[in-house]
Structure 1
């Protein structure tokens, strides 16, 4: 079980079979598991008092994002979308960067940067099957749509660019029971969508075996006051490749069609 545990880090909501295995290996001490990027739960006060004002405004913002998000249980490009639309099970755990400027690479939820989202929605996309016969090979992408107050989304992208530069040499992600060392943060080609975009390749040591380095990809697109975030993770130590262009394009087109950015 130790070998499998070393390969399991999953922040995203995995397919049912994968989730069961991930929970089992976590019990064996893998130390893995958070949400999209270790998003810390906002306090009740920040949820009501943060950028975005009233609960009614938040509800309206969420409704617009829901209309722009992939259909739960449907398909996105050629990929399957999980029917689960709530924040992943891993949300129960808080992951924080040891340096504040690196936090946007770990999390974009409330408290990650100076601007909290007014509203956000979550989707999980499965890029390929979970191979029980050949070991854990499933790749998944956590997709988050977040809206902000005036200027907030632009400041989020600015914070991400700063993190990509100042944290390029690595940093430490502090978890509930362990620490994960980011060895490097490398820019990769960003998609041609929205007003601006950033994309990074993250190389992270496994919490049980520093010789095993796992790879994640983070792509964030901004359109006006909204960000579209894509975090790709895999259950295999092999480089899973960047967030697929057709997946980003499908979400961008759905967003534009919905008019959520108007």
Structure 2
């Protein structure tokens, strides 16, 4: 996955009609917590009664899947693709030291359901590839704990670590917080620099963004078959998935 010359699954992606200015208007800071209104916050601002977020369970598997971008949905240059054969950020992935694991798998945080997809530009093998992962937790407190573990790992593992994903072992050279989108109840974003598995002199880039809304986390991991720093998870992908999730959440979970 990390070698420039490695074979990579061709991924297609989603985009959104929401402009980049809408997505980033007011930021969560460099890896900080977002203050934008999520479904619960929006209801509160409108004067509606909102139950204690810690007591609201996340949606089940079918409902969560309905909140995920579907194959063929398209916004801008991106199009949603068929589900991955293997789940992104799998809890089977390991790191050394173990405290860095949330950067690879969000840790073993005890999610109750998940749904995932992939995204890219159709027909462009060297375009940015993005994995999208939605996870439900037993309540907002459990989801917040998952995000906290990510934040802790982002600080403790800034100097690098070793990542073991499937049959590939890679050296992560550096982890840096970057501007997170102002979405949901909180958000974190990181730039992860890795060493090429074939040529130690080559550095590659990945970006990770995680948004939490109540008892659900929305994770986005992007990379590209190139040595260029592509600047982050495409805003269209984050905005497209967020729009579908927010609209679906407003209709109620089942």
Aligned counterparts of 2:231 and 2:78: Cα–Cα separation in 1: 16
Alignment of 1:182-201 (within 5 A): 182-201=172-191
| Structure 1 equivalent of residue 130 of structure 2 | 141
Question: Residues 182 and 203 of structure 1 are in contact (CA less than 8 Å); yes or no, is this contact kept in structure 2?
Answer: yes
1:170 aligns with 2:164: no
Q: 1:212 aligns with which of 185, 195, 202?
A: 202
Structure of higher RCO (CA pairs closer than 8 Å, 6+ residues apart): 2
| Structure 1 equivalent of residue 52 of structure 2 | none
**Deviation by residue 1:98-136 (Cα, 9 ceiling, x = unmatched):** 12210011113xxx23x22111111111146425xxxxx
Cα distance change, pair 10–224 in 1 and its aligned pair in 2 (3 A): farther
| Structure 2 equivalent of residue 7 of structure 1 | 4
The Cα of 1:95 is off from its aligned counterpart by 3.1
The Cα of 1:240 is off from its aligned counterpart by 2.0
| SS in structure 2 at match of 1:183 | strand
More helix by share: 1
Aligned counterparts of 1:80 and 1:63: Cα–Cα separation in 2: 22
1:117 aligns with 2:107: no
Higher mean C-alpha deviation, range 163-172 or range 246-255: 246-255
Aligned counterparts of 2:156 and 2:90: Cα–Cα separation in 1: 28
Aligned length: 207
Aligned counterparts of 2:240 and 2:157: Cα–Cα separation in 1: 30
Cα distance change, pair 208–246 in 1 and its aligned pair in 2 (3 A): same
| Structure 2 equivalent of residue 97 of structure 1 | 95
Aligned counterparts of 2:169 and 2:237: Cα–Cα separation in 1: 31
| Structure 2 equivalent of residue 31 of structure 1 | none
Question: Residues 71 and 80 of structure 2 are in contact (CA less than 8 Å); yes or no, is this contact kept in structure 1?
Answer: yes
Higher mean C-alpha deviation, range 164-173 or range 119-128: 119-128
Question: Residues 146 and 228 of structure 1 are in contact (CA less than 8 Å); yes or no, is this contact kept in structure 2?
Answer: yes
| Structure 2 equivalent of residue 237 of structure 1 | 227
| Structure 2 equivalent of residue 69 of structure 1 | 68
Cα distance change, pair 180–158 in 1 and its aligned pair in 2 (3 A): same
Aligned counterparts of 1:258 and 1:213: Cα–Cα separation in 2: 39
**TM-score, scaled to structure 2:** 0.72
Cα distance change, pair 15–244 in 1 and its aligned pair in 2 (3 A): closer
| SS in structure 2 at match of 1:123 | strand
| Uncovered stretches (5+) of structure 1, i.e. residues with no partner | 17-56, 132-136
Aligned counterparts of 2:236 and 2:88: Cα–Cα separation in 1: 27
Aligned counterparts of 2:88 and 2:241: Cα–Cα separation in 1: 23
Aligned counterparts of 2:114 and 2:7: Cα–Cα separation in 1: 21
Q: Over the residues paired in the alignment, what is the CA RMSD in angstroms?
A: 2.9
| Uncovered stretches (5+) of structure 2, i.e. residues with no partner | 13-56
**TM-score, scaled to structure 1:** 0.70
| Structure 2 equivalent of residue 130 of structure 1 | 124
The Cα of 1:177 is off from its aligned counterpart by 4.7
**Deviation by residue 1:43-83 (Cα, 9 ceiling, x = unmatched):** xxxxxxxxxxxxxx99x61111111111212214541111x
Aligned counterparts of 2:83 and 2:134: Cα–Cα separation in 1: 12
Cα distance change, pair 9–171 in 1 and its aligned pair in 2 (3 A): farther
Aligned counterparts of 2:113 and 2:224: Cα–Cα separation in 1: 27
